[in-house]
Each structure stands twice: as C-alpha cells, then as structure tokens.
C-alpha cells in the first residue's frame, strides 16, 4: 500500500495498541494476535504492536496496517523504542507497514543523535514509512523537518522532562497540527471516547489507544482505585 492510501485508511480512525511486556499476564504473541482480531472486528483501522514475534503473528490474522516497534533497554541510553538499526531491521522483517521509533532529543545507544539515526535508517530502508514518537512540540517540529512520515505524541508525559505533563496532551496535538504539514497522531493517556473526539477536532490525523483497551490489569487498577479513594 502506498503512503497516501495508507494515510487515507488511517484518517480519523482508531489504532489499537496491542502490547504486553514480559512481566504482564497477557504476554503472548498468540494473545496479542487475538486482541488485534478483536480490535479489527470492533472497527479499528490499524494496530500498533511490539516485537518481531507479535507483529508477525498479528499480520497473519488481520489485514489492517500495523505500526511496529521493538522495545529494548540499553544500558547507555534512556531510548528504548526501536533504538538502533537492529530493532528497525526486526520490524521491517516482521512485515509492519509503519516503523515507529523514539524521536526525542535523548541520545540513543552509543551516543547517537536522532538526525544521525534517521539518516542511517533512510539509507538502509529508503521506502519504509517512519513514525516519530515525540514528547514535546520542539521534538515534533524537528521530526517533521527531518522527514518523518508521521509524528505521534506517544512520549509526552513519559520523558524525564515531561513527567509533569497532564495527559492526554491535546494542546500538543493542536500546536503541532498548526505548525507542521506532517500528519499528527494522538497517543498517550487516552482513556475516554470524548478525549479522542477532542484530539481529532484539534487536528489529529488518527488516534492510538492501548492501555484503556488491551491491558486489563491496568484497567482493573483504575476501577479499584476509584473504590478505595
């Protein structure tokens, strides 16, 4: 699918993030693939998934565009979302339609800057679609300038310098949508349908929701917390 067709397919739609880390009860490529099927049947226009195994399993069962990442920790960097070319290669091999990666100002493993990494990825895979996971307005503008195909607010509230940011950060959506031509994806802290409506009204191309749909442990904690206040 070419870039314009893919963007048109995602426009004003819901992308469901189907992820479970190793310490979570639903950690299983089979379970993630079934969650993706449920999301597709519910009307989702795309899936976001983590790891070669999960993405491969999901691609076998759903015909939706998949945004792929590989989360991996490195001792010398706080960047863990598709941090090096190794992870990019894994996502490409998995068959993902879009590769998402940390596009914050933080140095990558081995002290690599984002602009250096972006050039490295584009040289290795010139035709892949790249989505920038950012945490601030400046990072979004920078990512757009570098040439990313999509900019997502995924990391707002999760970098050390945005920890105090109230989520979801709809103001960031609005400011980026007004400043750049690159499609802006709303992601991070969305729990209510009305928040998604506000995001789209503020200029979001599409919305990505994970925990509120696919992480029952976190959903349960929210309900329990409301009863124990």
Full DSSP string of the chain: --HHHHHHHHTT-EEEEE---TTSTT--HHHHHHHHHHHHHHT-SEEEEESHHHHHHHHHH--S-EEEE-B--BTTBS--BS-SHHHHHHHHHHT-SEEEEE-SSS--GGG--HHHHHHHHHHH-TT-EEEEE-SSHHHHHHHHHHT-SEEE-TTTTTSGGGTT--SS-HHHHHHHHHH-SS-EEEESS--SHHHHHHHHHTT-SEEEE-HHHH-HHHHHHHHHHHHH-
**Which pTM does this prediction carry?**
0.97
* pLDDT value at residue 1: 83
Give me the pLDDT at residue 115, please.
98
pLDDT tens for the chain, 229 residues long, are: 899 999 999 999 999 999 999 999 999 999 999 999 999 999 999 999 999 999 999 999 999 999 999 999 999 999 999 999 999 999 999 999 999 999 999 999 999 999 999 999 999 999 999 999 999 999 999 999 999 999 999 999 999 999 999 999 999 999 999 999 999 999 999 999 999 999 999 999 999 999 999 999 999 999 999 999 7
Strand partners of residue 207: 14, 186
Which pLDDT belongs to residue 229?
Answer: 78
Sketch the domain layout of the chain as residue ranges: 3-223
Fold type of domain 3-223: TIM Barrel (3.20.20)
Q: How many percent of the chain have pLDDT more than 90?
A: 98
Q: What is the pLDDT of residues 73-112, one digit of tens each?
A: 999 999 999 999 999 999 999 999 999 999 999 999 999 9
């Amino acid at each position: 699918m070419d870039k314009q067709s893919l963007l048109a397919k995602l426009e004003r739609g819901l992308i469901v993030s189907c992820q479970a880390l190793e310490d979570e009860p639903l950690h299983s490529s089979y379970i993630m693939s079934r969650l993706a099927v449920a999301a597709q049947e519910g009307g989702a226009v795309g899936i976001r998934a983590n790891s070669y195994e999960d993405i491969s399993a999901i691609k076998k069962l759903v015909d939706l565009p998949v945004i792929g990442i590989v989360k991996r920790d490195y001792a010398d960097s706080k960047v863990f979302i598709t941090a090096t070319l190794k992870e990019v290669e894994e996502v490409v091999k998995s068959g993902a339609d879009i590769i998402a990666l940390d596009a914050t100002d933080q140095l990558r493993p081995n002290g690599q800057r984002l602009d250096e990494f972006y050039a490295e990825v584009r040289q290795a895979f010139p035709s892949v679609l790249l989505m920038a996971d950012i945490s601030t307005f400046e990072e979004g503008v920078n990512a757009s300038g570098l040439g990313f195909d999509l900019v997502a607010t995924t990391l707002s509230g999760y970098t050390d310098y945005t920890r105090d940011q109230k989520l979801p950060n709809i103001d960031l959506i609005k400011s980026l949508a007004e400043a750049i031509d690159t499609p802006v994806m709303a992601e991070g802290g969305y729990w209510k349908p009305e928040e998604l409506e506000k995001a789209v009204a503020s200029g979001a191309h599409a919305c990505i929701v994970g925990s509120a749909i696919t992480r029952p442990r976190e959903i349960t904690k929210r309900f329990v917390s409301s009863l124990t206040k």
